[in-house]
Chains A and B, each alone.
Chain A
Amino acid sequence: MTQPKSFPIGRRTVLKAAAAAGVAQVAAPFVISARAAETVKIGLNDPLTGTYALLGKNEQIGCQLAVEQINKKGGILGRKVELLVEDSTSADTGIAVQKAHKLIDRDKVNFLLGNVNSAMAIALGEVSNQAGILHIVTGGHTDSVTGTDCHWNVFRVCNTTRMETNSVSSTLFKKYGKKFYFITPDYAFGHTLQQGFEAALKANNGTETGASLTPLGSTDFSSYLIKAEASKPDVIIFLTAGQDSVNALKQAVQFGLNKKFGIAGAQQELEVLEGLPPEARIGTWVFEWYWRQPNVPHVKEFVAEIRKVNGGKVPTARHWFGYASTWTCALAANHTKSLNALKMAKFLQNFKLPPEVALMPNNPFYREGDNQLMPTLYVGHAQEKGKDDPEDLFVVDKEVKGVDAALPVAETGCKMKWPA
């Protein structure tokens, strides 16, 4: 029999191990989909691990579908397009920046896309601006991306947080009342969403009964919910996203808070509603794109195409973000017959997305002055079960035009500086 040697595990070893666990969060693998010479390269920098992994993955699927379509139609300037994907992680902005440098400096991408995380979107905007390449922010919503941190080369497909709060606040006042309690993720995205609602409350003589700033990636929301309950609001506003939303809403419903107060928020996503048990699919929200738009041309085809590559599941707003961003790159290059970022950026001022890319009513366009897409916002409510499709979990009550929800360019804080 072998004699077991005992090696004592010291406190220090456990501590080192705990530190290593932290490192593990950032040491994520990178993915490269294809490599070839003489291609036009689009680099996607998005989370494929962590809280936002699913959202990042769905944007990637949308990008890939667009790349396939672009290549079928002759590519960009007659050259084949390839998509290079890097995992930015969900929460470490340093890694995201490092991966963006890798895409730009080593892989020499012609376009940069990303990121789901707002703080990363801002940081990537700086990186792409220094490199002077066209950058489309796919899914980071905080205002400053096309506000105080705007750049001539940075465009954004998803909405600003202010557009989201403006589009839904009047509905919330009517439906629930004017006393709000906020559950807010403690970073750029959550902060600006809360500021947006606070502005609406102020303008309408509403009151804020309190707010809990929750660390990104929180699992337990019970203590915040206890605080929310004690403040007796009309409505608890959940500003969380991704997995945080699933955890927060699931716990709120288990506590029966939906029977005492309204449950609502700004941005909501199909990914979250699908992750919730049916009884927790409740509340009033804003969707940024919805798959069920029977009267909008090309939507049916897009849904069918995505279903083929998405395990039979319908596209979400994230798929559309990736799709519209990638197509924007191709349209800008092919129209200007150039890969020059400045020429393309000038071309995109007030550029209307063609219907087969827009996939929504009201002709979305990139607004001159802040490079923000002015899409349609879908205000509505979640539903437990779809009547004829299990993924029909949202009912659109009102469509709001982007220009009506957005602050005027002068109020966004964006001072666009174009290169000489």
Chain B
Amino acid sequence: MTQLILYNVFNGLIIGAFYALMALGLSLILNLSGVINFAHGGFLAVGGYLAFTLEPYIGFWGGLLLSPFLTAAIGLIIERLLIRRLYGRDPLYSLLLTFGLAFMFEDGTRFIWGPATLPFTVPDWLSSPLSGQFFFLTGYRLFMVLLVTATVIALFVILSRTRVGMRIRAGTLDLETVSVLGVNVRILRNINFGLGIYLAGLAGVLAAGMLGLQPTIGSDLIMPSFVAIIIGGLGSLPGTLLGGLLIGVASGVTSVFFPSASEAVIYVMMGLVLLVRPRGLLGEEGRF
């Protein structure tokens, strides 16, 4: 039993890392632009589908490299044409817009790639377990965790060491002052949105390697990311990361004792956090 629980904690961390990757993109956009991006799952699906389409030409690795950038490019265009118009208005507007976009993405992918599940394959050497004992640690999942770790480190380095990153962080705290100091907030938001969507696209390619690629893949995966953000605390990226890992582990451990509640447990956790510590685990007090 102890072994089973340990396995599930370990496995939960792997899954949590994936949730965190999605939630970080969502959180970035939410923090700076105040947009609750419901279409994040849609971008994720596009990332997966683009990698699937590119795979015959440039292989898995090419797809993994290129597809998130293409997804981000689509994101930048959508931000420029649609989302930008709604900055400064009540958040409900952008919420409704991205809500509609989520439907359009789902039906759009269904229209272009069809409703059938597509078999996205990962390189053979990645898709087998590394050891008989820890069979759930496949090369692919280890690679995924490493990639997520590297991405998170890169993201935090960008945010804390580069000029644009510092501006994003400053803007998150007080956008008006940043704007008054002469920073082009429009471009800043555009870059930030692109960065968030890049993470969605990357999560999409990674998800397609583990799951069947079908139009609802985005909406199937999006809810835990919202939960991760609320548990971790709005406005805090480390909080989002922690939230993602926590729900992964909680869901895994619950499945040992009460498998049918493994999905519900994350919502129970969210409820508890909201009751006991409404700002979330690492959220700043009074900020939201």
Give A residues with C-beta under 8 Å from B: 1-11, 13-15, 17-18, 20-21, 24-25, 49-51, 53-54, 57, 186, 212-215, 217-220, 222-227, 229-230, 243, 246-247, 250-251, 253-257, 260, 271-272, 274-279, 311
Known: A213-B259, A226-B136. Contact between A4 and B226, CB under 8 A?
Answer: no
Query: Is A251 within 8 A of B220, CB to CB?
Result: no
Query: Is A223 within 8 A of B212, CB to CB?
Result: no
Other A-B pairs, 11, CB within 8 Å; known A53-B215, A215-B263, A256-B129: A9-B34, A9-B288, A11-B288, A17-B226, A18-B223, A18-B230, A51-B216, A53-B110, A186-B260, A214-B259, A260-B135
Query: Is A4 within 8 A of B212, CB to CB?
Result: no
Q: Using Cβ atoms and an 8 Å threshold, which residues of chain B touch A2?
A: 88
B71 within 8 A of A: no
Q: Sorted from nearest, which 4 A-B pairs have the closest CB atoms?
A: A275-B117, A246-B212, A223-B255, A213-B260
Query: Is B128 within 8 A of A311, CB to CB?
Result: no
Query: Is B176 within 8 A of A4, CB to CB?
Result: yes
Query: Is B115 within 8 A of A57, CB to CB?
Result: yes
Expressed in whole angstroms, the minimum distance between the Cβ of A241 and any Cβ of chain B is 12
A253, B227: Cα distance in complex, Å = 30
Contact sample, A vs B, 14 pairs, CB 8 Å cutoff: A5-B176, A7-B91, A186-B260, A214-B259, A215-B262, A223-B262, A224-B255, A226-B7, A227-B4, A230-B4, A243-B214, A251-B210, A255-B135, A272-B117
Q: Using Cβ atoms and an 8 Å threshold, which residues of chain A touch B120?
A: 277
Q: Using Cβ atoms and an 8 Å threshold, which residues of chain B touch A260?
A: 135
Considering residues A186, A217, A250, A254, which has the most beta carbons from chain B within 10 angstroms of its beta carbon? A254
Q: Using Cβ atoms and an 8 Å threshold, which residues of chain B touch A272?
A: 117
Query: Is A227 within 8 A of B222, CB to CB?
Result: no
Closest to B256 in A: A227
B268 within 8 A of A: no
Query: Is B251 within 8 A of A223, CB to CB?
Result: yes
B43 within 8 A of A: no
Q: Using Cβ atoms and an 8 Å threshold, which residues of chain A touch B11?
A: 222-223, 226
A257, B127: Cα distance in complex, Å = 12
Binary flags per residue of B268-288, CB closer than 8 Å to A gives 1, else 0: 000000100011100000011
Q: Using Cβ atoms and an 8 Å threshold, which residues of chain B touch A24?
A: 99, 102-103, 219
Q: Using Cβ atoms and an 8 Å threshold, which residues of chain B touch A222?
A: 11, 14-15, 136, 252
Query: Is A274 within 8 A of B230, CB to CB?
Result: no
A25, B219: Cα distance in complex, Å = 9
B62 within 8 A of A: no
A186, B121: Cα distance in complex, Å = 29
Q: Which of A54, A254, A274, A278 contacts B128 (CB 8 A)?
A: A254
Expressed in whole angstroms, the minimum distance between the Cβ of B120 and any Cβ of chain A is 7
Query: Is A275 within 8 A of B118, CB to CB?
Result: yes
Known: A246-B211, A255-B129. Contact between A20 and B99, CB under 8 A?
Answer: yes
Query: Is A277 within 8 A of B176, CB to CB?
Result: no
Query: Is A1 within 8 A of B117, CB to CB?
Result: no
A186, B261: Cα distance in complex, Å = 10
Known: A250-B211, A311-B114. Contact between A4 and B179, CB under 8 A?
Answer: yes
A7, B287: Cα distance in complex, Å = 12
Binary flags per residue of B77-118, CB closer than 8 Å to A gives 1, else 0: 000000000011111100100010011001000100011111
Query: Is A13 within 8 A of B36, CB to CB?
Result: yes
Known: A223-B252, A247-B211. Contact between A7 and B89, CB under 8 A?
Answer: yes
Q: Using Cβ atoms and an 8 Å threshold, which residues of chain B touch A214?
A: 259-260, 262
Query: Is B117 within 8 A of A246, CB to CB?
Result: yes
Q: Which of B30, B95, B185, B219 contacts A4 (CB 8 A)?
A: B185
